[in-house]
Amino acid sequence: MRTDLEVLAFVGVLAVATMLTRFLPFWIPARFTQNRLVNVAKRSLPAVILLLLTIYSLKDTKFTNLPWGLPEMVSLAVVLALHVWKKNALLSIAAGTGLYMVWSNGLLSGLF
Amino acid sequence: MPLHLFRTSLPVAFGYIPLGMAFGVLLQAQGYAWWWASVMSVLIYAGSAQFLAVGLLAAGAGLVDAFLATFLLNLRHVFYGLTVLERYRLLRGWRQGYATFALTDETFSLLAGIGAHPSDDRRFVLGLSALNQSWWVLGSTLGALLGQSWHLPTKGLEFSLTALFAVLFVEQVKRRPEPWPLLVALGAAAVCLAFLPGKAFLLAAISISVVGQMLLPDKESA
C-alpha cells in the first residue's frame, strides 16, 4: 500500500501523461498540420474514428458461444434501423440500450 | 442552450455513470479512500486509463512505467485534437485549456458527429465538455462510496456508448464521406482485432487508417 503522497504523485503522473496526448496537436507547428496529406486524412477522420470506436466498444462480444453475440448485434441493428428511420438520436440510443439491457439480464430467456 | 446541452449529453451520462461506478468500486476494493476515485476522475479524466491505473497501482508499478503505459494508451487523442484544432482555437484562455484537457472519446464523438452549434459553438463545446466530465466524476464517486453494496440494475447500460458511437457514425455517413477511408478502416480493424485485441487496438487501427488514407490518391486535387 502506498502513502497518500505516493498515490498523489502517481495520479499526477497519469494526469500529465493523459494531458500530453490531448495538448500535443495544439503544439504542433501549423506547417505540419496544414499540409495536404494531413487535410486529406482529417476530412474523413470523424467517420473513421466513429466506426472504429463502435467496433472497439463491441470487442468483448462472445461470438463463439451462447448467445453468439446476438444481443449486441440485434440491439445495434435496432439502433441503426431506428436512427435511419426516425432520425431521433435519443430514441435510437434508448431503444437499443433498453433492448440490450433486457436481453443481457436474461429477461428474454422465456422467449428463446 | 442548457436543455439542448443536457439532451446532447444524456447518452454519455447513461454510459459514464455506470462505467464510472465500476471504476469506483474497483478502486475502493484495492483499499483506497473513496475520494481517490473523485480525485482521479477530476484530474485524469480518461476512462480506460483509469481502469489501467487500478491495475498499475495493484501491481505496484513504478512511475515511469505508469507514465509510458498511460501515454501510449491515450495517444489516440492526438488524432482527436488534430480534427478539432481550428474549432478549439476559437475558445480563449482557460476555456480552450479545459476543453482540450477534457477531450475524451465520447466528447470528441459528439463534437465531430454533430458538427458546430449554429449560434454559440464556443459555449456548446465548453458546456458539453464540463457536463460530460461531471457524469464521470459523479459515477466514480458514487461507485467508490457505495462499494460492493450497490445492486442497481445497471448491467448493460454501457451499451448506450456503443449506440451513441453508432448513431453518430450514421450522421457522418449521411454526409456522404468518401467510401475508401471507411473500407481501409474496416480492414485495419479486422487486422488489429486479429493481432492486437487488447488496449492497443484503437491507436493501432486509427494510425493504420490515417496512413492508409494518405497513401490513397487524393481525388479532389486530381
3 state DSSP class of A97: helix
Q: How far is residue A17's CA from residue B22's CA, in Å, rounded to a whole number?
A: 23
Pick among A11, A35, A42, A52 to test the B interface (most B CBs inside 10 A): A52
Residue B74: CA atoms inside 13 Å, Cβ hemisphere, count?
A: 32
Mutation choice for B interface testing from A5, A27, A55, A90 by most B CBs within 10 A: A55
- Cα B22 to the chain's mean position, in Å? 16
CB neighbours of residue B88 within 10 Å: 22
Its sign, for the CA torsion B198, B202, B128, A92, is negative
| Residue in chain A nearest B31 by alpha carbon | A1
Cell 494508451 found at: B73
B18-43 pLDDT, tens digit per residue, is: 999 989 998 998 999 999 999 999 99
Hey, is the C-beta of A107 within 8 angstroms of any chain B C-beta? no
For position A43, what pLDDT does the model report? 80
The pLDDT score that the predictor gives to residue B221 is 47
Residues of B in contact with A52 (CB under 8 A): 185, 188-189, 202, 205-206, 209
Share of chain B above pLDDT 90, in %: 67
Mean pLDDT of chain B: 90
Give the pLDDT confidence score for residue B113 in this predicted structure. 87
CA distance A66 to chain B (A): 17
Question: Is A107 or B52 the better-scoring residue by pLDDT?
Answer: B52
Which residues, including other chains, have CB under 8 Å from residue A8's CB and lie 6 or more apart?
B39
Which of B91, B6, B21 has its CA nearest to residue B100? B91
Query: pLDDT tens digits for chain A (112 residues)?
Result: 788 999 999 999 999 999 999 999 999 888 887 777 677 777 888 899 999 999 999 988 888 887 889 999 999 999 999 999 998 989 999 999 999 999 988 777 655 5
> Could you state, in order of their start, the residue ranges of all structural domains in chain B?
2-176, 177-222
Contact (CB<8Å) B74/A21 = yes
Q: Is A23 exposed, middle or buried (0-12, 13-18, 19+ CB in 10 A)?
A: middle
In the numeric block, which cell numbers belong to residue A10?
Answer: 502517481
Mind listing the pLDDT tens digit for each residue in B80-90? 999 999 899 99
Distance CA B89, CA B96 (A): 7
User: Per the CB < 8 Å rule, is B82 touching A84?
Assistant: no
Under 8 Å CB-to-CB from B187, ≥6 apart: which residues?
B212
User: By the CB < 8 Å criterion, does A87 face chain B?
Assistant: no
Residues 6+ away with beta carbon under 8 Å from B210: A41, A45, A48, B79
pLDDT for B176: 80
Question: Which one, of B206, B19, B202, B9, lies nearest residue B110 by Cα?
Answer: B9
State whether residue B181 is helix, strand or coil.
helix
**d(C-alpha B102, C-alpha B44), whole Å:** 9
Q: A108 at the B interface (CB within 8 A)?
A: no
How many CB atoms neighbour CB B99 within 10 A? 23
Q: Using a CB-CB distance cutoff of 8 angstroms, which residues of chain B are in contact with residue A44?
A: 177-178, 181-182, 213
pTM: 0.88
Put simply, the answer to whether B14 touches A93 (Cβ < 8 Å) is yes
Distance CA A33, CA B74 (A): 20
Q: Give dist(CA A50, CA A69) in Å, integer.
A: 21
CB < 8 Å to B76, chain A: 21
